[in-house]
A and B are shown apart, each in its own frame.
Chain A
Amino acid sequence: MAALRSRKVVELFYDVISPYSWVAFEVLCRYQTRWNIDLQLRPFFIGGVFKETGNKPPALLAAKYTYAQHDLRRLADFYKIPVKMPPMERLMRRENVNSNRLLTAVTLDCPEHLENLSRELWMRVMARDQDITEPASLETAATAAGIPSDTTPQLLSRIRDDDVKAALKDTTNQALAYGAFGAPTIVAHIEGTPVMIWGSDRFPLLAHLLGERWEGPLREMAKY
């Protein structure tokens, strides 16, 4: 009898304020049906990562910010993801953490909505230049993501709960323990060893490490 090949766990640590995290998220969502992987979404807090590592957000260097705007336009076309670099004011808002806490609450309470809500928050902040910090914004996003509207007020109130704040901190610390210094951080578990990969431009390498094939952007699987 043939042995079952167990799925390899691939963790994606991401923050919805990070445009390159959206690219990694969509690519991995497409490939979870092609590769023998168990994709685990881990919303974390990039601000916490920068604080702990002393690494600077790339957007703070003007030439890098300008390049990233251009780079993302090309990647949007290549991957068929409507991603755009948000304006600096949105990137730097302290209240962005509210969206991370909401995603953490969803992870704890109703994880079946995590993928859709993550996508909807990115659509808001990256594709439509909309707020993702105010309760009203988050409520709209939750409803648009298919979370029943009678449960959203309770879910939103969870943003202030200690267990949700602690869980977000915990996920962020897990990423740091893997050596994370930015977003997205992908951790592929290969024969018991965690391999940390940073960014959204190592998919051919990830495929190689997983013993899988990289088949390009798979635009035909775009959700847009």
Chain B
Amino acid sequence: MCGGIINRFFTVMISSRSRGDSENSELKVTVKETRITVYMYSRQVIQRSFKMAAPIRKSVELFYDVVSPYSWLAFEVMCRYQQKWNIDLKLRPFFLSGIMQGVGFNQPGPSKASYMGKDLKRQTDMYKVPFKMPSNPAEVILIKGSLNAGRFLTAVDMNCDQYLEELTRQLFLRVYYRDEDITEPASLMSAAAKAGIPEDMAKQLLSTIKDQAVKDRLRETTQAALDHGAFGSPTIVAHVDGKPQMFFGSDRMELMAHMLGEKWYGPLPELAKAKM
């Protein structure tokens, strides 16, 4: 060697630890050096060094209303998959009634309604979500509704969103596992407690649910879903190559995986979080 600058190509194997699989990413780096020093790097150090080259997380928005049973299924599946896929899951509590007013609604006839009850049982069994149909689903969905619950979730989203996932889960468990109310303040406080929200914080948030800012935010989220073409709940919007892809329902997961360039592993019951 005559002391000149030597260019070297190094191919660095980086394990994608966050993806939970053994797939490796390749990164080609040109290094100019006059001296070659060999270091043994740990996987974590390499990951930290090349953080800028890590693939950008894809944004996936889940618009949901806790009064919608298929939304619980989609919610639990997405919560499991945010650990497996390179996605940034954004929970967007909205108001299903507002959607139905916006685009219309065909109420299912008796044979379809009967089928949906059986379908929910089979799907939630397969996915290990502890679903139980309430004694009067029409009253739960059409009469009692979810306005206060939607506003409470919105207030939590605005102020302390670290609790949003668990509060969502606790509200679903109330209505679709224990057949309990989700409209009264005491009901919402109970769900908040189970979600780990400190009591005084929960009380404060509850006092804001009739504030204009909270109402407006819930309305905006609902409008955002409508703008994506939503007509029901759940509505999932995956941002793929800069384009929003809207999926309705809880049964387009495998297709969504295909479009996100991710692998579909099925129900993943071992990652289930909803406890009875």
Q: Do A and B come together as binding partners? A: yes
Residues of chain A having any CB pair with chain B under 8 Å: 53-56, 58, 60-64, 66-67, 70-71, 74-75, 78, 179-182, 196-199, 201-202, 204-205, 208-209, 214, 216
Would B115 and A198 count as touching, CB distance under 8 A?
yes
Would B231 and A180 count as touching, CB distance under 8 A?
no
Contact A181/B115 with A55-B109, A62-B103, A63-B104 known, Cβ cut-off 8 Å = yes
Contact A181/B255 with A61-B104, A67-B248, A205-B126 known, Cβ cut-off 8 Å = no
Give the complex CA separation of A66 and B201 in angstroms: 43
Contact A181/B112 with A63-B104, A205-B123 known, Cβ cut-off 8 Å = yes
Give the complex CA separation of A49 and B30 in angstroms: 67
Q: Pick the contact of B259 from A61, A74, A180 — CB < 8 Å? A: A74
What residues of chain B lie closer than 8 Å to A208, measured between beta carbons?
126
Contact A78/B258 with A179-B111, A198-B115 known, Cβ cut-off 8 Å = yes
Closest residue to A65 on the B side, CB-wise?
A: B231
Residues of chain B having any CB pair with chain A under 8 Å: 103-106, 108-112, 114-115, 119, 122-123, 126, 229-231, 245-249, 251-252, 254-255, 258-259, 264, 266
The smallest beta-carbon distance between A136 and chain B, in angstroms, is: 36
Say whether chain B's binding surface is mostly helix, strand, loop, or mixed.
mixed
What residues of chain A lie closer than 8 Å to B264, measured between beta carbons?
216
Chain A to chain B contacts (Cβ below 8 Å), 17 pairs: A53-B109, A53-B110, A56-B106, A61-B106, A63-B103, A63-B229, A63-B230, A64-B231, A70-B229, A71-B252, A74-B245, A179-B111, A179-B115, A181-B111, A181-B115, A198-B119, A199-B251
Would A55 and B112 count as touching, CB distance under 8 A?
yes
A-B interface, 7 closest residue pairs, ranked by CB to CB distance from nearest: A63-B231, A201-B251, A63-B103, A181-B111, A181-B112, A56-B106, A54-B109
Q: Pick the contact of A61 from B103, B112, B249 — CB < 8 Å? A: B103
Given contacts A58-B106, A61-B231, A74-B245, 8 further A-B contacts (CB under 8 A): A53-B111, A61-B103, A63-B103, A63-B229, A74-B259, A181-B109, A181-B111, A201-B252
Give the complex CA separation of A181 and B109 in angstroms: 9
The smallest beta-carbon distance between A219 and chain B, in angstroms, is: 10
What residues of chain B lie closer than 8 Å to A205, measured between beta carbons?
122-123, 126
Would A202 and B111 count as touching, CB distance under 8 A?
no
Contact A55/B108 with A63-B103, A205-B122 known, Cβ cut-off 8 Å = yes
Give the complex CA separation of A214 and B246 in angstroms: 25
What residues of chain A lie closer than 8 Å to B245, measured between beta carbons?
74
Closest residue to A214 on the B side, CB-wise?
A: B266
Give the complex CA separation of A120 and B112 in angstroms: 30
What residues of chain A lie closer than 8 Å to B246, measured between beta carbons?
67, 70
The smallest beta-carbon distance between B63 and chain A, in angstroms, is: 14
The smallest beta-carbon distance between A138 and chain B, in angstroms, is: 31
